[in-house]
């Protein structure tokens, strides 16, 4: 499977310029396809840009916005001279990969998005015609995904996003939300019940008793391994807190294995199998899940 870094470089292509629309698409690929959270995906994009001399339009815009903000008057207006300097700065930071007209269009769009206005200009009749006649950049269409897919046409199932959604629903006592994350014929191998539970209907009573009657909560610790593409297998550690009818509050460390597959184009996958077991001598009693 191609790495997320390979996907970033493929997106940039030979020009090495990553537009805002392309960057947004990359972040969606990082979160939905590689199981990264938003900050990790964004960090990977910035790291690749720094290491491989890519130009991120978002970084160029931040630099130009800082310049514009330093040149506004008390009414938040930008002079024509400052605007032209900002457009030249845009081209310079983009390393010449954006033409003069494109730079002016992008700076105008940036000003409007940042709430800045143009100062009237002219010797006799002062107006903003100089600014108004600059066209805004046209909408950019980016195919999803607009990068070569790995061999087999697959990217990794969104493991981390799925586990995060499972934990959020579990801790909210949302039985329906937990069940919805399992594939219709998903398999649950839980410690606290002798028989396997296959399918959402078979799992329902188990989770209702655990999440509602015993007020259980979960905290994920380390994800020790994620293997495979689609489906992907994740193994790691988590900890449960629940109320035992005879012993009261109990905390139990446990280990898990989830088998997750992609679920259409969504950012959360479907759990095909979930195996949970208590860590030997790790807590007071068996693991609830």
Determine phi and psi for 256, rounding to 5 degrees.
Answer: -135, 160
Q: Is the pLDDT of residue 208 over 60?
A: yes
The pLDDT assigned to 266 comes to 62
Which of 17-31, 196-210, 228-242 tops mean pLDDT?
Answer: 196-210
- pLDDT confidence of 283, banded at 50, 70, 90? very low
Residues of the chain with CATH 3.10.450.50: 159-278
Global pTM reads 0.49
Which residue pairs from 172-181 have beta carbons closer than 8 angstroms and sit at least 24 positions apart in sequence? Answer: 173/211, 173/212, 173/215, 175/204, 175/207, 175/208, 175/211, 175/212, 178/207, 178/211, 179/203, 179/204, 179/207, 181/268, 181/270, 181/271
Kindly report the average pLDDT of the chain as a whole number: 82
The residues facing 252 across adjacent strands are: 240
- pLDDT confidence of 282, banded at 50, 70, 90? very low
Four-way CATH pick for 159-278: 3.40.50.300, 2.60.260.20, 3.30.950.10, 3.10.450.50: 3.10.450.50
The pLDDT assigned to 145 comes to 45
Among 3-7, 61-65, 269-273, which stretch is predicted with the lowest mean pLDDT? 3-7
Mean pLDDT value across residues 89-97? 89
């Amino acid at each position: 499977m191609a790495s997320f870094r390979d996907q970033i470089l493929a997106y940039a292509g030979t020009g090495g310029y990553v537009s805002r629309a392309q960057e947004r698409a990359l972040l969606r690929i990082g979160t939905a396809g590689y199981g990264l959270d938003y900050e990790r995906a964004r960090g990977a994009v910035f790291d690749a840009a720094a290491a491989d001399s890519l130009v991120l339009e978002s970084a160029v815009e931040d630099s130009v916005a800082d310049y514009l903000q330093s040149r506004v008057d008390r009414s938040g207006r930008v002079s024509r001279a400052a605007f032209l300097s900002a457009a030249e700065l845009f081209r310079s930071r983009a390393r010449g990969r954006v033409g003069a007209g494109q730079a002016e269009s992008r700076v105008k769009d940036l000003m409007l998005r940042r709430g800045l206005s143009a100062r009237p200009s002219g010797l006799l009749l002062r107006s903003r015609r100089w600014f108004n006649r600059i066209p805004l950049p046209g909408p950019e269409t980016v195919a999803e995904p607009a990068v070569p897919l790995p061999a087999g046409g697959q990217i990794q199932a969104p493991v981390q996003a799925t586990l995060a959604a499972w934990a959020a629903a579990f801790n909210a006592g949302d039985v329906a939300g937990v069940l919805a994350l399992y594939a219709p014929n998903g398999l649950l191998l839980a410690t606290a019940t002798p028989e396997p539970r296959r399918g959402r209907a078979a799992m329902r009573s188990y989770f209702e008793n655990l999440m509602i009657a015993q007020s259980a909560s979960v905290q994920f610790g380390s994800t020790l391994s994620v293997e495979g593409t689609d489906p992907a297998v994740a193994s790691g550690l988590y900890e449960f807190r629940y109320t035992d009818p005879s012993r009261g509050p109990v905390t139990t460390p446990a280990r898990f294995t989830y088998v997750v597959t992609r679920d259409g184009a969504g950012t959360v996958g479907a759990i095909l199998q979930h195996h949970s077991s208590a860590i030997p001598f790790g807590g007071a009693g068996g693991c609830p899940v």
